[in-house]
Chain A
Amino acid sequence: MKGTNRILMLLTVVSAASILVAALGAFVLAPDAAGLTPDETAAQRIIYFHVPAAWLSMLAFGVTMIGSIAYLITSKRAWDSLAVSSAEIGIAFTLAATASGSLWAKPAWNTWWTWDPRLTTYTIMFLLYVAYFMLRSAMDDPARRARFAAVYGIFAFLSVPITFMSIRWWRTIHPILLDSKNFGLSSGMLPVFFLSLIAFTGFYFILLAYRTRLERMQERVDALKEQLGY
């Protein structure tokens, strides 16, 4: 256990350092985008945080779905712990992506918020995962809670591909990065963009490790309570 803790601590330091390097890249090293107003140029750099946050929200909900399927197959509580831990991190990144996107939208679209298909489906996705936690909190029996949450977690994930595809299916003002050549970025921007993606993905896995550890501790408390007749 001590060895695992040490490795996790080391990975945490590496993750923090890589996030700092990514921030340095985003603030200093990445070149300005061409053909934009000064405000838009500064706001464009939000891409180095906004896109990783949005990607991680979807990855986190994907991990929740995998944990949910694995729980229904094996009935092992560890899978439920993984699912709930990842969903919680997903919610945090969803909020971060929404807020940073709104900051970009003001100079780019001249509004903080609009009911664009991407923003609307992303909000629905967020609310579906808030409901995931409401569902969990409504049930006391751990096995029943895990089973219901697993089924819900699988269906809630349907909102993720819909959100991803929304800007391709419906008329939108949201940029479509993945379909553009080099993600619509210049050769100087691309390394910083990928560095940010990698650094934030590492950060997600670190958060997941700490959050699942917390869940395991909760399981021990629950087991002791049951043993003592609480």
Chain B
Amino acid sequence: MIYMAGAYLIIWAASFVFILSMLRRQSKLEAELKALQEMSQEKR
């Protein structure tokens, strides 16, 4: 059963790392987008 649980954990670890990296990139992009929008409004 340890192999089965191991395989299941690996699939979920891969998915979790992928989703976590997406969330991290999303929050970074949101901050960047907000800063850029503010700069764009200041320019006007």
Separation of A93 and B3 alpha carbons in the complex (Å): 18
Is B6 touching A103 in the complex (CB atoms < 8 A)?
A: yes
A-B contact pairs, 10 of them (CB 8 A): A26-B4, A46-B3, A50-B7, A92-B14, A95-B14, A100-B7, A100-B10, A217-B29, A217-B30, A228-B43
CB of A187 within 8 A of chain B? no
Would you give the shortest CB distance from A72 to chain B, in whole angstroms?
A: 27
**Complex interface: chain A residues within 8 A of B40 (CB):** 224, 227-228
Is A46 touching B26 in the complex (CB atoms < 8 A)?
A: no
**Complex interface: chain B residues within 8 A of A96 (CB):** 10-11, 14-15
Is B36 touching A27 in the complex (CB atoms < 8 A)?
A: no
Is B18 touching A92 in the complex (CB atoms < 8 A)?
A: yes
Which residues B18-35 have CB closer than 8 A to chain A?
A: 18-19, 22, 25-26, 29-30, 32-33
Separation of A85 and B8 alpha carbons in the complex (Å): 24
Interface-facing stretch out of A125-133, A178-186, A207-215: A207-215
Is B33 touching A220 in the complex (CB atoms < 8 A)?
A: yes
Is A104 touching B14 in the complex (CB atoms < 8 A)?
A: no
CB of A13 within 8 A of chain B? no
Is A46 touching B7 in the complex (CB atoms < 8 A)?
A: yes
Would you give the shortest CB distance from A48 to chain B, in whole angstroms?
A: 9
